[in-house]
């Protein structure tokens, strides 16, 4: 039996494996599923078993899982293609007879009415239909989704969105990784659903003010219409399909759908979630370096 992490060379997957090792899981007890053997070379060198498989090639998934494995299925990042990709993973896991399937979905589950949630809801339905023991980790937004744009924000002095007065309860990627490691390696999580989010919901004017304080550069928040935001995103080269998802997501934030602070993430990881201030400060330090 192994703890299997799919998408293991991605940002979240690497953090999960690091957390598992810190928890005392032996490297030989972890299997990393990756498309590219070269990208997983460091994991193999650390003693982690590497299994090569591709969400887009179902035949490769047959060797990714074994009976009794506890599997963390990290959702794919290609919006619009995830239902067949995830279906292939679930089917392979069911055929292998894995002991547990942990899935990283989206906050709100069936109640989430924004475009980005559709593929996650379909995946959860397929997992339930498979009969596999499961854990649904319904992740809220990662703070890094926003801090990744800090270079552009600092250059132009503005955070742009179409959220109105909406708030969002983000947490750091490492927080969600710790939750995934806890769920896939611990006991008592089978057939449970966790609605995961940060401890504090913040507003976009507060975010702009925090960047101003920590960077020393004046940054404001500009709230625009959905149509204006769409034009801006298209203008900077964001693919049209993803533009629709981002604009729709901001509208969902405006409706309060990503502001929930249930405390489930902090309870699952056994500590408070990482404050917004800390993640912004860390990214600014990285940019200065």
CATH assignment of the domain containing 121:
3.40.50.720
**What is the per-residue pLDDT for 80?**
82
Residue 191 lies in a domain: yes
At residue 69, the pLDDT reads 98
For residue 35, being part of any structural domain is answered with yes
Q: What is the pLDDT of residue 58?
A: 94
Domain presence at residue 226: no
Residue 128 lies in a domain: yes
pLDDT of residue 79: 81
SS3 sequence, 172-211? CHHHHHHHHHHHHHCCCCCCEEEEECCCCCEEHHHHHHHH
Do 246 and 185 touch, CB atoms closer than 8 A? no
The span from the CA of 96 to the CA of 148, in Å, is 38
Token match 């090792």: residue? 21
- Strands 202-203, 167-168: parallel, antiparallel or unpaired by DSSP? antiparallel
In a domain, 7, yes or no: yes
For residues 21 and 48, what is the distance between their CA atoms, to the nearest angstrom?
Answer: 10
Distance in angstroms (rounded) separating the CA atoms of residues 186 and 19 = 13
The closest alpha carbon to 196, from 142, 127, 118, belongs to 142
Alpha-carbon gap, residue 242 to 51, rounded angstroms: 31
Residue 67, domain member (yes or no): yes
184/135 Cα distance (integer angstroms): 8
CB 175 within 8 A of CB 269: yes
Per-residue pLDDT of the chain (289 residues; tens, 9 = 90+): 899 999 999 999 999 999 999 999 999 999 999 999 999 999 999 999 999 999 999 999 988 999 999 999 999 988 888 999 999 999 999 999 999 999 999 999 999 999 999 999 999 999 999 999 999 999 999 999 999 999 999 999 999 999 999 999 999 999 999 999 999 999 999 999 999 999 999 999 999 999 999 999 999 999 999 999 999 999 989 888 889 999 999 999 999 999 999 999 999 999 999 999 999 999 999 999 9
Name the domain count of the chain: 1
Q: What share of the chain is helix, strand, coil (3-state, %, to 5)?
A: 50, 15, 35
Structural domain includes residue 203? no
The pLDDT score that the predictor gives to residue 77 is 84
In a domain, 14, yes or no: yes
Residue-number span of the structural domain to which 102 is assigned: 3-140+172-196+261-269
Q: In sequence order, which residues have a C-beta less than 8 Å from that of residue 37 and are 6 or more positions away?
A: 50, 52
């Amino acid at each position: 039996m192994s703890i299997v992490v799919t998408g293991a060379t991605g940002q979240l997957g690497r953090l999960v494996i690091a957390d598992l090792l810190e928890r005392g899981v032996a490297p030989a007890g972890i299997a990393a599923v990756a498309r590219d053997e070269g990208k997983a070379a460091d994991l193999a060198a650390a003693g982690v078993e590497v299994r090569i498989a591709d969400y887009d090639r179902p035949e490769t998934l047959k060797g990714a899982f074994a009976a009794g494995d506890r599997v963390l299925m990290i959702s794919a990042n290609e919006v619009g293609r995830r239902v067949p990709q995830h279906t292939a993973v679930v089917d392979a896991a069911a055929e292998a007879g894995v002991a547990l399937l942990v899935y990283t979905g989206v906050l709100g589950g069936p109640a989430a009415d924004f475009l980005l949630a559709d593929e996650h809801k379909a995946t959860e339905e397929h997992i339930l239909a498979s009969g596999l023991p499961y854990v649904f980790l319904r992740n809220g937004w990662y703070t890094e989704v926003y801090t990744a744009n800090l270079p552009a924000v600092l250059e132009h002095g503005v955070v742009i969105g179409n959220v109105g007065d909406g708030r969002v309860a983000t947490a750091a990627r490492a927080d969600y990784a710790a939750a995934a490691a806890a769920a896939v390696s611990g006991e008592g999580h089978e057939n449970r659903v966790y609605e995961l989010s940060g401890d504090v919901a913040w507003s976009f004017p507060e975010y702009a003010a925090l960047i101003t304080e920590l960077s020393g550069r004046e940054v404001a928040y500009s709230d625009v219409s959905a149509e204006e935001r769409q034009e801006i995103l298209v203008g900077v080269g964001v693919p049209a399909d993803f533009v629709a998802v981002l604009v729709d997501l901001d509208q969902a934030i405006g409706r309060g759908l990503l502001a929930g602070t249930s405390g489930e993430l902090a309870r699952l990881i056994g500590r408070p979630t990482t404050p917004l201030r800390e993640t912004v400060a860390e990214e600014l330090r990285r940019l200065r370096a």
